[in-house]
Every structure is written in C-alpha cells, then in structure tokens.
Chains A and B, each alone.
Chain A
Amino acid sequence: MGKRITVPFGSQHVALPEPVRFVFQTENEKIVDVEVDVGYVHRGIEKACATKFKYMQVGYVVARVCGLCAISHTLGYVTALERLMGVEVPKRALYLRLLVSELDRIHSHLLAMGHTAEVAGYENLFMQTFRHRELVMEMLELLTGNRVQFDFACPGGVNRDLTPEVEKVLREKLKVLEEKALWLRDVYENDFSLALRWKGTGVVTEEMAKEMNVVGPPARAAGLKTDVRAEFDYLPFKEVGYRMVVLKGGSIYERNLVRALEVLNSIEMCWNILDGLPEGDIKVPVKGLPEGEMFVRIEAPRGELFYYIRGSKKLILDRVRIRVPTFANIPVMKELFVGMDYADVPATVISFDPCLSCTAR
C-alpha cells in the first residue's frame, strides 16, 4: 500500500464557501481517516443571550446566528418565548411568518442547489440558479424591507404587514418563480451528466441516517420520514397544503432532488397563504417576565432546529440553547468520508449544505 498522505481541506478553500476544516488522511485516492474542526466562527452568542441582552432583544441577536435561515432562528426563539409566557399570536401573524419562512426555505435551497452544481463544474447552472434566486430575494425585500437579515418575526407577532400593493407584485413574481422552479427541477432531475456525477456518490443509507440521527433534506433523501413541520405544530402547515418529500437512495442526486421538490411544495404553500390570508391584527403586546423552561423544534431549511430557553422572572434569560441542523449532520459527514475517494469530497460536503456559522455560533 502507498504511504499515507495528509490533505487539509479548508478553512479557506476554492470549493468551499464556509470556514470549516477537514484534515484527511489518504491512502492513494481513498480516505482512511478524517478530522474535523468546526470552531472557526465561534463567537459566543449563547453566553451573550444569557448575560447581555434582554429577552425582547434576544430574537434579533439569534437571527445573527445565521443569515441563511435568519427567520428560522427568530421563529424558534419567539415560539419558545410565546409558549413559555402563554401569548396567543394572531392568525394573520402566523400566516405571514409562514410565508416568510417558506420564501426563506426556497432561497436557501436554491443556494444549496446552485453550489452543488458549481462544485460539479457546472458554472452555467450555478449562475442560472442564482439568477432565479434573486426573484425570491426581491420578494423577501418587498415583504420585509431587507434582503437577508429581515428581523420579521418578533415576540407576539410580526413587525410588518402585507399591503395589497405588495401582494399584487408578490403574485406576479411567484408566477415567474414557479415556472423557473419547474424548469430547474427538470434540469436537476434529468440532466444526464449531472446524474452521472451524482448518482451513487456519497450515499447515506436509511439505517445510517437513523443511527446517526441525520436531519433535514439529507435524511429525507435517504428515505427517513422525518420533518419537524409534520411533527411539531409551530405554524399552521397542515392548512396550507404541506406535503413531506421523501425519496429513496440517499446520494447527492437525491439530496438535490429533495430540495428541488421542496421548493415546488413551498411555492404551492405560498400561493395558498396569499389566497387564504386571514384579516386581523399582526401583533399583540407581550407583558410580564418569562419564568420556567421551554423547548421547541423548528424545521429550518437544513433540518431540525432545537431551542431551549429558561428564565427565572428576570429581564435577562438564564439560558438559551441552540442546537442547529448542521451540528447534527457533522457526525454523519465524518462517518461518510472514510472509504470515499478524495475527488468526491467537495461535492459531498456541499450537498449537505453545511452552515458553519450556525454550528459554531
């Protein structure tokens, strides 16, 4: 056998948008051992949430855990807080939150799909995907006032209402987006060379997914029926036509296809939300001080997001704990790499859509 060679991958790497570092031990082309370092972006948000910021402000701080799924983090926190304090959120606010969270999911999924295409050497498709993603960004900007960090949800409701003019534009854009998303699904499903590159690469089997507690699109691509949207009632998903997308296979190809299908489902939900948006208030005041503990699960674009909060009748909470989806998926990635060809590594990493600023917080 050949000598062992150490190949570092990251923290700054051509194919890698995220500061994560893998150190591979390879024998010829095969990887025999891997170490992972996820701590590059550790900032200490959990500590700051429990010492510096008041409980009404924490929602905006945790949004800065991650810019890609900003609404999910805020949603996780405010849902936990509202359940803890017994606040009844108006129906309209819930629907608006749902709308933004689905749009957020679309843009995050498109980003992930585009990246995988780029790593496969398909720069053209990457550009196309990003072009269509801009539509979603425009919609989000119209709706919330900012492109990325929108701070839309707040304890007790949402910060901004949907006006009829905006709704009209949203409908127009949604129509275009739907067309484009159908086309994208078609490409990701049927393109010959992409399928050749991705099918059977980086396979997570169903048993493996169960054993390693995989979450999100990688789990659903492996055939594991888990989606927090079906398991936890934090928003009225049932009423707007949510369907769980589960495929068999578990390779990069299926992970992307799950994303493409979820985008379509999300667009359908957006239509239903716009059609059935209830009238009423968008915000109720939140009074009192939080006491006790509460935990919630949220489906972020990358999978299950877990929030644990605990207060003791003070303005500042005692503990905020965030367990993010990528944090749960790192162990399976590590497992997967052993025995794999080094050439497949970038594509596999990206297909998990790792979000390191979530992981390290």
Chain B
Amino acid sequence: MDFKKFRKRSPWILHYNTGSCNGCDIEILACLAPKYDVERFGILNRGNPKQSDILLVTGPVTKRAKERLLRLYFEMPEPKVVVAVGACACSGGVFRHMYNVENGVDKVIPVDVYVPGCAARPEAIIDGIVRALEILKEKGKEVELPHWCSAQVKPPVNRVKLLDRCLEELHGRR
C-alpha cells in the first residue's frame, strides 16, 4: 500500500533538548497548546522515537547529549525529518565556542529545516514544521548518515551495526 499520501496527514513529533535554555522548548509546548495548536495538522507529540516522523531538536548539543541524540536519530524509522529549532540549534547561538558544546545540531546529525530566533517564535516553529511536512512527503526510505560518517549504506540495512559504526567514529573524533 502507498503510505505516502497518509504520512503527511499524521506526522508524530519527537522533541529532544540537547542543552537549550528551555526558551525554545516552552515555545514548542506553546505550539501544542490551544492558541497555536499544531495538532490541527494531525501532529501528536509522543515521546517515542520508534513511532515519530519529525524530530524537533533544541539546543547547541552538549558533549553528553551528543550520543543520545545520535541514538534517537537512529531509532527513528525512515523517512524522517529533523528540524533544528532556535538560534542555538542552528549555529550554537550565544553558546558558540563554549567548552562543552558542539556548535549546532548539524555537526552531529543531518538537519533538514532550520528555524531561527532566540527564542524561536511559535509562528516560526509552525512554519518550520509545515516545511518539514513537505520534505517528509518527498523523502524516500533511504537511510541518511551524518556527514562525518564514512560508512556505506548497502541494503539490507542493519541499523544496529550502522549505529555502532557511527558511535565508534564519533568517539574516535575526540
């Protein structure tokens, strides 16, 4: 069956905080609450990576959150879209070049949509999510890897092995 048509109508989101100041997190929450209400796009916020299509990441990615972020990313099924919410998720923002951060989400996992602002306004977040929905419609089932990872993806894909390989390289980069 062709799920493509339906996927766009009921995307579930997963939200992960990788060291943000909570400013963008509460704006994401405000989006889910009555005034802005992204649930009208069929979106539900479920904290389960295995059932989610859109990953909303806030924060500049701290050293300790890095590995968790990668794990979450690999647990999500394809197709998936990553939205970096807030100035600090896009580039590091105020936290750029502090000793414990990685300067942005795209240093760790591939990002599809960037939402700027400190804090990102709910309108901007909704816009980002709508863009993400369009990208989600286009995306296929291929596995995307972080740009720094040199592993080759050959079908049949073994996720566990891929994740191990990526983690190895991640720690090798130290």
* A315 to B68 CA separation, bound complex (whole angstroms): 38
A-B contact pairs, 27 of them (CB 8 A): A11-B68, A12-B14, A12-B16, A14-B47, A18-B22, A19-B65, A40-B18, A41-B62, A42-B19, A42-B62, A42-B100, A66-B23, A67-B23, A67-B24, A67-B25, A70-B21, A70-B23, A130-B29, A130-B34, A131-B33, A131-B35, A147-B119, A147-B122, A148-B26, A148-B119, A355-B22, A360-B19
User: Does B70 touch A at the CB level, under 8 Å?
Assistant: no
B101 near A44 with CB under 8 A, answer: yes
Taking CB atoms and an 8 Å cut-off, the chain B residues in 145-174 that contact chain A are none
Closest chain A residue to B46, Cβ basis: A14
Contact present for A68 and B22 (CB under 8 Å): yes
B21–A357 CB distance below 8 A: yes
Please state if A41 and B121 are interface contacts (CB–CB under 8 Å): no
Interface centre among A41, A60, A355 (most CB of B within 10 A): A41
Distance A15 CA – B68 CA, assembled complex (angstroms): 18
Contact yes or no, B119 A17, CB < 8 A:
no
CB of A277 closer than 8 Å to a CB of B:
no
- Contact partner of B18 among A17, A41, A131, CB < 8 A? A41
Residues A43 and B26 in contact, CB atoms below 8 Å apart: no
A146 interfacial by beta-carbon distance below 8 Å: yes
Taking a contact as CB atoms under 8 Å apart, the answer to whether B33 and A127 are in contact is yes
| A45 proximal to B (CB < 8 A) | yes
B residues near A127, Cβ cutoff 8 Å: 33-34
Q: Which residues of B contact A40 (CB under 8 A)?
A: 18-19, 62, 64-65, 68
A149 CB–B CB distance under 8 Å: yes
Find out whether the CB atom of B47 lies under 8 angstroms from the CB atom of A67.
no
Closest-by-CB residue of B relative to A12 is B16
Q: Is B118 an interface residue (CB 8 A)?
A: yes
Q: Which residues of chain A (17-71) have a CB below 8 Å from chain B? A: 17-19, 39-45, 47-48, 52, 60-61, 64-68, 70
Task: Tell me, yes or no, whether A186 is within 8 Å of chain B by CB.
Answer: no
Which listed residue, B20, B33, B34, touches A41 by the CB 8 Å rule? B20
Bound Cα distance from A111 to B47, whole angstroms: 19
Taking A41-B18, A67-B21, A130-B30 as contacts, is the C-beta distance between A47 and B46 under 8 angstroms?
Answer: no
- Chain B residue numbers with a CB within 8 Å of A64 are 21, 23, 88, 93-95, 118
8 other contacts beyond A11-B65, A14-B47, A43-B101, with CB at 8 A cut-off? A13-B47, A19-B16, A43-B100, A64-B94, A64-B95, A67-B22, A68-B23, A148-B26
Known: A41-B65, A43-B62, A146-B119. A66 touches B33 (CB 8 A): no
Residues of B within 8 A of A (CB): 14, 16-27, 29-30, 33-35, 46-49, 59-60, 62, 64-65, 68, 72, 88, 93-95, 97-101, 118-119, 121-122
Q: Which of A48, A65, A67, A147 contacts B98, CB < 8 Å?
A: A48
A16 CB to closest chain B CB, in angstroms? 8
Are A43 and B34 in contact, with the CB atoms below 8 A?
no
With A11-B68, A42-B62 as given contacts, are A357 and B20 in contact (CB-CB < 8 Å)?
yes
User: Closest chain A residue to B75 by CB distance?
Assistant: A12
Distance (Å) between the CB of B51 and the closest chain A CB? Answer: 11
How many Å lie between the Cα of A310 and that of B93 in the bound state?
A: 26
Q: Is A88 an interface residue (CB 8 A)?
A: no
Q: Is the CB of B47 within 8 A of A147?
A: no
Residue A330, interface by CB 8 Å: no
Which chain B positions have C-beta within 8 A of A17?
17, 25, 29
Within the assembled complex, what's the spacing in Å between the Cα atoms of A170 and B94?
A: 31
Using Cβ atoms and an 8 Å threshold, which residues of chain A touch B65?
Answer: 11, 19, 40-41
The one of B25, B29, B48 in contact with A14, judged by C-beta atoms closer than 8 angstroms, is B48
